[in-house]
Amino acid sequence: MKTNSEKNTAASIHLSAFTQYFFPFGNFIFPIIIMWASKKKESEFVDYNGKNLLNFQLSVLLYSLVLLAVMVVVVLGFVFNNIPLEVVMRQDVFSVSNLDLSQNITWITIGLVAVLLLACLKILEFFLLLYAAVKTSDGVRFKYPITVAFIK
């Protein structure tokens, strides 16, 4: 049976990931150092939720980095398809009117899909953190979807 203290600590671990909106890497620093590391030996439930949250945050970071890499490749592909090398070498002025969007529809589509997927991932992360906090405060062992098990 889980005590109220264990449930509250586990829920707080999930909620502490929201510090990412105020501090860089707050979604890792606050849950790990402040909460999980100090309580993981006292409770198996808190330890499970700490590992679960950390795996989820690492997975979201991995997915975000992949999507950002796709966006960089798209931008570079779009730029190199549209700016002739002669313009770069002679340092001429390049006009936006020279862009031909019809020949770059593939780059534009891939870039927009990557941006949309990244936005959906961040929205999903926000609501899953809230849902996990509610479930763990009820004493349920919540498992995040789309999570790679980095820490077992």
Question: What does the pLDDT read at residue 122?
Answer: 94
Q: pLDDT (tens digit, 9 = 90+) per residue, 7-30?
A: 988 898 888 889 888 888 888 887
Instruction: Classify residue 150: in a domain, yes or no.
Output: no
Classify the phi-psi angles of 37: left when phi > 0, otherwise alpha if psi is within -120 to 50, otherwise beta: alpha
Q: Which domain holds residue 94?
A: 4-137
Instruction: Please calculate the CA angle 47-51-57 and round it to the nearest 5 degrees.
Output: 145
The answer to whether residue 96 scores a pLDDT higher than 60 is: no
Instruction: Classify residue 111: in a domain, yes or no.
Output: yes
For residue 61, with 0-12 CB atoms within 10 Å meaning exposed, 13-18 middle and 19 or more buried, which class applies? Answer: middle
Structural domain total, the chain? 1
Q: What is the DSSP string of 48-111?
A: HHHHHHHHHHHHHHHHHHHHHHHHHHHHHHHHHHHS-HHHHHHT----GGG--GGGGHHHHHHH
Question: What does the pLDDT read at residue 114?
Answer: 93
Q: pLDDT (tens digit, 9 = 90+) per residue, 40-78?
A: 778 888 889 988 999 999 999 999 999 999 999 988 887
Instruction: Classify residue 21: in a domain, yes or no.
Output: yes
Question: What does the pLDDT read at residue 108?
Answer: 83
The answer to whether residue 151 scores a pLDDT higher than 90 is: no
Question: What does the pLDDT read at residue 120?
Answer: 96
- Between CA 83 and CA 96 the distance in angstroms is 10
Instruction: Classify residue 143: in a domain, yes or no.
Output: no
Instruction: Classify residue 151: in a domain, yes or no.
Output: no
